[in-house]
């Protein structure tokens, strides 16, 4: 029996040290060396304080800001601990009701806007944490943000154009706008008077 137990315990201890200590330390060290910004959460700092992450959406509800995709995480929106979609299918009345409420909120914030509401402003992403919206979703909100901030639509549209990222490698994905970065650019443009 000792001839079986001792090698098994030795192997267990060895694999625990390799996979539970050495591998995580090496992976973390390489990540810090090769991709330090991403390994530390892709944080955006202002005045030495973190204000958010490029990779995780934030809930903006003030009309002077661009709004991102809805988040279905709980107990609060954009809660990384509870990342996940709602699992509501297109025929589910709860999804239909949620979309109607989101459309009503967008219309209430900008009653003069009669354009069709882009789908990404009323449906959550699979993770519930999407930090980006489509250029169409950003364009939909330009008039409201400009009016509330006392800026011209052209000024706000220029900020949206600068914040719009194209396809990765020219072919992968879709053009997108990071909501946090756009809102920070808006704040900075009014602070610096541009």
For each successive 10 residues of the chain (194 residues), what is the average pLDDT? 87 96 95 88 84 86 92 72 75 89 92 92 84 94 94 94 91 92 90 60
Query: What is the model's pLDDT at position 118?
Result: 94
Helix (H, G, I), strand (E, B) or coil at 182: helix
Query: What is the model's pLDDT at position 75?
Result: 64
Give the predicted TM-score (pTM) of the model. 0.79
Query: What is the model's pLDDT at position 192?
Result: 63
Taking CA 159 as the corner, what is the angle to CA 50 and CA 67, rounded to the nearest 5 degrees? 60
Confirm if 158 and 41 have CB atoms less than 8 A apart. Answer: no
Confirm if 97 and 86 have CB atoms less than 8 A apart. Answer: no
Query: What is the model's pLDDT at position 139?
Result: 96
CA nearest neighbour of 53 among 168, 167, 179: 179
Query: What is the model's pLDDT at position 74?
Result: 64
Query: What is the model's pLDDT at position 90?
Result: 84
CA nearest neighbour of 87 among 70, 69, 72, 103: 72
Query: What is the model's pLDDT at position 28?
Result: 94
Query: What is the model's pLDDT at position 63?
Result: 92
């Amino acid at each position: 029996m000792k001839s079986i137990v001792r090698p098994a315990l030795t192997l267990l201890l060895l694999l625990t040290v390799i996979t539970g200590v050495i591998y995580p330390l090496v992976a973390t060290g390489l990540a810090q060396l090769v991709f330090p910004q991403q390994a530390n959460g892709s944080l955006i700092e202002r005045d030495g304080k973190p204000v958010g992450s490029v990779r995780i959406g934030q809930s903006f509800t003030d009309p002077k800001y661009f709004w991102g995709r809805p988040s279905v995480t709980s107990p609060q929106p954009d809660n990384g601990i509870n990342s996940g979609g709602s699992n509501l299918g297109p025929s589910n009345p709860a999804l239909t009701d949620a979309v109607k409420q989101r459309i009503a909120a967008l219309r209430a914030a900008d009653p003069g806007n009669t354009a069709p509401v882009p789908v990404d402003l009323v449906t959550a992403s699979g993770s519930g944490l999407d930090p980006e919206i489509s250029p169409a979703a950003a364009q939909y909100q330009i008039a409201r943000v400009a009016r509330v901030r006392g800026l011209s639509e052209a000024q706000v549209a220029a900020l949206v154009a600068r914040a719009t990222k194209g396809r990765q490698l020219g072919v992968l994905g879709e053009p997108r706008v990071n909501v946090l970065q756009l809102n920070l650019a808006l704040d900075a443009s009014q602070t610096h008077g541009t």
